[in-house]
Amino acid sequence: EDQVTQSPEALRLQEGESSSLNCSYTVSGLRGLFWYRQDPGKGPEFLFTLYSAGEEKEKERLKATLTKKESFLHITAPKPEDSATYLCAVQGAGSEKLVFGKGTKLTVNP
Amino acid sequence: GAVVSQHPSWVICKSGTSVKIECRSLDFQATTMFWYRQFPKQSLMLMATSNEGSKATYEQGVEKDKFLINHASLTLSTLTVTSAHPEDSSFYICSARGLTSGSTTDTQYFGPGTRLTVL
């Protein structure tokens, strides 16, 4: 059974304090690993898709990396507007479904 | 690009009534649409997967007669909660997957969600 574990559950940072969120996964044949951002009361917003170990993608202050067992979402010099819950999901080979982790709630204080 | 809309954004209904939620992909054709449910401070729980023109595939434990899904076209799917009860109150989110302009990937794009409250 495909599984995703995200850590920490919650993270508080000061503005400008860089950090990383972790997503550990087990999947039978990785078809894709996805990162989403979700604001309270809204649907998830797509950030990145990673397909193979060693792949990296960047968008503004966010950088996602992937190994065979985990993915990291690095946040460089975060701003208060980066506060949100960040969700990680995997799609296994031959499956249409995404399996989500429980998310990391990030709070960036000014 | 890759915009998914949901309507309504929130709805309040009486117990025993039925509620329909629409999900539309606005700028791409969705080969597959998904319906999720999310409880407060919890992650998304997949309810069902639907492909245009065929019956939806429901996840274990989801009552297909209670949560009716119709995928009428490549841009529209509807979820009808029949004979709603207070325990059906939740945040319902749809997603659509398909190739978007400038993309070579098959990514799920999510709608903004619908907050259902059953009195």
pLDDT digit string (tens) for A63-74?
Answer: 999 999 999 999
Stretch B87-115: mean pLDDT: 86
Buried b (16+ CB within 10 A) or exposed e, A3-37: ebebeeeebebeeeeeeebebebebeebbbbbbbb
State the Cα–Cα distance between residues B18 and A102, nearest whole angstrom: 30
Question: Which of B17, B20, B50, B19 has its CA nearest to residue B35?
Answer: B50
Point out the least confidently predicted range of A100-104, B49-53, B64-68: B49-53
Reading the block at residue B19, the tokens are 């509620």
In 3-state terms, chain B is what percent helix, strand and coil (to 5)? 5, 50, 45
Provide residues of A within 8 Å CB-CB of chain B: 32, 34, 36, 41-46, 49, 87, 96-98, 100-103
Smallest CA–CA distance, residue A53 to chain B, in Å, is 17
For the CA atoms of chain B, what is the radius of gyration? 14
pLDDT digits (tens, 9 = 90+) for A14-43: 999 999 999 999 998 999 999 999 999 999
**A97–B2: do the CB atoms touch at under 8 Å?**
no
Q: Is B43 within 8 Å of A49 when comparing Cβ atoms?
A: no
Residues of B in contact with A3 (CB under 8 A): none
Pick A101's closest partner by Cβ from B6, B43, B49: B43
Which of B4, B43, B106 is closest, CB to CB, to A87?
B43
> What is the pLDDT, as a whole number, of residue B103?
58
> How far is residue A22's CA from residue B5's CA, in Å, rounded to a whole number?
30
Distance CA B23, CA B48 (A): 14
Residues of A in contact with B91 (CB under 8 A): 41
